[in-house]
């Protein structure tokens, strides 16, 4: 016989999707519910595989939540596991530390939520003794390693450590309980069930296996690709088998579509259709959410830029016909054949474009544009102030893009209008 458990983390139930909601409320509602559906699929996996336990390595919740709807949902899912005799071992992560729900919910005795001091729980099944060691942190910041607080390995048992940690650091993630993979391997445990970093990572070793399962459901284009949970089987000899199991309901993907050489609008739509059909066939999650980027040299470039809203509508219609396929955003990086440099210098639209780009590059113009953006950002609600970046460097990149796209829009309307 064998001992089996499912390892997940960073579910971030009911995470708000403010930026997506500004663009497409229907899509935001779909993705907003996807975290719940992903957690249901995790519970379904536990039931289908008849595992002994579910391990949640932090951040089941998302920040300062107090929704009773979320509370009832979690209680229902824990109840399903309890009825099946499946134990739950959960630690609090940095987002859980902010959640009021995590401190108010009362779970059945089959659910162990580790406290602020390290605890160990022994579970015997399949002829194996498995000790689960966990530690929660009560605050959203943990600047020092938590590893010294964990006990030594229990003799005669398989030892599983549960920790929420940023490891040595990861882009886009706050430093939280940092430690090295080497230190985890040397601690004496057999398996480390980690959480916090949203990208799946597996670090096998001679003594231990360290797994960061990644987020089970992506929330935006920066969390693109399939998302999963980890099914762990401990064999009779103490060896481990690790399987990645799909959990994402809605899958974000970047889709680059080369429309070079197209001369008629229907050709562009045909290119879009072909690319979306291929994407749909490759995506295993129920919903495919595409950020489409059109590239290439085409005499239609000015018209496409000018009538981007019409092109987006056509792309959405194509996606709708494919079923469970969505356009998250449409970006255009198209140019005229030969570019501006090859254009007839007597063409006033090209002369205007060159003049505008020269003005936009001047310190005085950029300074004025920067001040306008900063003033606009300051007047927005707090949750919407990151759209222009979170640092000075990101603000400068946003300014570059805004100025370039603004010039393209002006010239596109003049150029397309003159040729229509």
pLDDT over 80 (residue 405): no
CA distance 4 to 227: 20
Kindly report the number of other CB atoms within 10 A of residue 382's CB atom. 6
pLDDT tens column, 46-73: 999 999 999 999 999 876 655 678 888 9
Burial class (CB in 10 A: 0-12, 13-18, 19+), 239: exposed
Q: Is 373 helix (H, G, I), strand (E, B) or coil?
A: helix
Q: What is the pLDDT of residue 236?
A: 92
- Name the pTM for this structure: 0.81
248-290, pLDDT tens digit by residue?
999 999 999 999 999 999 999 999 999 999 999 999 999 999 9
| Helix, strand, coil percent content, the chain, rounded in steps of 5 | 40, 25, 35
For residues 396 and 117, the model is more confident at 117
Domains annotated for the chain, with CATH where assigned, are 3-246 (3.60.21.10), 249-337 (no CATH), 346-420 (no CATH)
Q: What is the four-CA torsion angle of 17, 19, 24, 29, rounded to 10 degrees?
A: 10
At 419, which helix (H) or strand (E)?
Answer: helix 392-419
Do residues 216 and 38 touch, judged by C-beta distance below 8 A? yes
CB atoms closer than 10 angstroms to residue 264: 11
């Amino acid at each position: 016989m064998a001992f089996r458990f499912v390892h997940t983390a960073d579910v971030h139930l009911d995470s708000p999707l403010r930026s997506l909601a500004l663009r497409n409320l229907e899509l935001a509602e779909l993705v907003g519910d996807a975290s719940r559906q992903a957690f249901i699929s995790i519970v379904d996996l536990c039931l289908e595989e008849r595992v002994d336990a579910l391990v949640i390595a932090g951040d089941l919740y998302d920040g300062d939540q107090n929704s009773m709807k979320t509370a009832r949902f979690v209680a229902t899912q824990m109840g399903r596991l309890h009825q099946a005799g499946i134990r739950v071992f959960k630690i609090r992560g940095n987002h859980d530390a902010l959640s009021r729900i995590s401190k108010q919910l009362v779970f059945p005795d089959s659910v162990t939520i580790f406290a602020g001091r390290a605890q160990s729980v022994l579970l015997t099944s399949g002829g194996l003794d498995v000790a689960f060691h966990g530690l929660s942190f009560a605050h959203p910041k943990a600047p020092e390693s938590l590893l010294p607080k964990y006990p030594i390995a229990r003799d005669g048992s398989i030892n599983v450590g549960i920790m929420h940690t940023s490891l040595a650091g990861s882009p886009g993630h706050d430093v939280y309980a940092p430690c090295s993979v080497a230190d985890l391997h040397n601690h004496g445990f057999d398996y480390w069930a980690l959480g916090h970093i949203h990208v799946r990572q597996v670090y096998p070793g001679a003594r231990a296996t360290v797994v960061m399962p990644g987020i089970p459901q992506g929330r935006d284009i920066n969390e693109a690709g399939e998302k999963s949970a980890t099914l762990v089987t401990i064999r009779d000899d103490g060896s481990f088998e690790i399987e990645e199991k799909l959990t994402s309901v809605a899958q974000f993907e970047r889709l680059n579509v080369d429309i070079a050489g197209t001369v008629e609008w229907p050709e562009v739509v045909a290119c879009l259709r072909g690319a979306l059909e291929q994407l749909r066939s490759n995506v295993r999650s129920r919903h495919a959410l595409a950020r489409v980027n059109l590239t290439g040299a085409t005499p239609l470039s000015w018209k496409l830029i000018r009538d981007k809203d019409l092109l987006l509508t056509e792309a959405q219609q194509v996606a709708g016909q494919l079923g469970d396929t969505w356009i998250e955003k449409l970006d255009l990086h198209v140019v005229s054949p030969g570019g501006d440099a090859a254009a007839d210098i007597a063409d006033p639209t090209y002369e205007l474009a060159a003049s505008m780009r020269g003005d936009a590059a001047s310190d005085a113009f950029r300074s004025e544009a920067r001040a306008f953006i900063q003033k606009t950002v300051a007047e927005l609600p707090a949750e919407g102030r990151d759209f222009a970046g979170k640092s000075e460097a990101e603000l400068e990149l946003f300014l570059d893009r805004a100025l370039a796209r603004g010039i393209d829009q002006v010239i596109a309307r003049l150029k397309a209008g003159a040729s229509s």
